[in-house]
Amino acid sequence: MKRAGASVSSARPGSRLLQAFERELLTLLPRLRRFARALARDAADADDVLQVALERALKAREQWAPGTRLDSWMMRIVRNCWIDEMRSRTRRLRTFVPEEEGEAIGSDSHREIELRAEMHDVDRAMNSLPPEQREAIVLVLVEGLAYREAAELLEIPMGTLTSRLTRGRQALAQMLEAA
């Protein structure tokens, strides 16, 4: 009879490799959560994206080559899950009105309404950036990664990252000035 807390991997051949994979994955969780939170800008959304990414990684663990960087592999999976989520949201936004538009109804605080409108403008500006620019801005300006780290994670040259950051900042500034 199997114990309730026993790992599924201990019953399979080659379980040491699997256990090593799971152990290394557990040590990466705080970094992966920070990265997901930087992309999602919401703790609940970040946890959802991270859960989907962990499920994908566990299902596809044979694709990871031992001896290579698990952190880069996992961050790429988190990033891809976030991209999938954003595409899904874009489709939903075309169908439904955002909940935030109804929150200010009946509110007396004009400053609160203005702040919500400004935040909505910032969110809309960030979401209207091309994904490449938004990722660069999130990784470097929000997550605080060094340019080299962000370039390696995105698998692009440092100059390309710098260019995306510059164009993204300029586009944000223009969109927010026009708003």
CATH code, domain with 82: 1.10.1740.10
- What pLDDT was estimated at residue 96? 60
- What pLDDT was estimated at residue 106? 60
Q: Are residues 128 and 152 in the same domain?
A: yes
- What pLDDT was estimated at residue 144? 81
Q: Total structural domains in the chain?
A: 2
Q: Read off the pTM.
A: 0.52
Residue 73, exposed/middle/buried by CB under 10 A (0-12, 13-18, 19+)? Answer: middle
Q: Are residues 26 and 64 in the same domain?
A: yes
- Cβ–Cβ under 8 Å, residues 164 and 133: yes
Q: Are residues 72 and 29 in the same domain?
A: yes
As separate numbers, helices (DSSP H) first and strands (DSSP E) second, the chain gives 7, 0
Residue 1 lies in a domain: no
Q: Are residues 177 and 109 in the same domain?
A: yes
Residues 6+ apart with CB under 8 A from 19: 7, 9, 10
CA–CA separation, 118 vs 102, rounded Å?
Answer: 16
CATH number at residue 157: 1.10.10.10
Structure tokens at 16: 């040491």
- What pLDDT was estimated at residue 111? 73
Q: Are residues 109 and 91 in the same domain?
A: no
Distance from chain centroid for Cα 110 = 33
Q: Are residues 31 and 83 in the same domain?
A: yes
Q: Are residues 135 and 167 in the same domain?
A: yes
Sign of CA dihedral 144, 148, 153, 155: positive
Residue 3 lies in a domain: no
Domain span including residue 163: 105-179
Q: Which of 96, 122, 150 is the last residue of a domain?
A: 96
The ranges of the chain with pLDDT < 50 are: 1-11, 13
CA–CA separation, 41 vs 49, rounded Å?
Answer: 11
Q: Are residues 73 and 18 in the same domain?
A: yes
Q: What is the pLDDT of residues 1-19, one digit of tens each?
A: 344 444 444 445 457 777 8
Q: Which of 33, 64, 96 is the last residue of a domain?
A: 96
What is the CB neighbour count within 10 angstroms for residue 109? 10
Structure tokens at 148: 């080299």
- What pLDDT was estimated at residue 107? 57
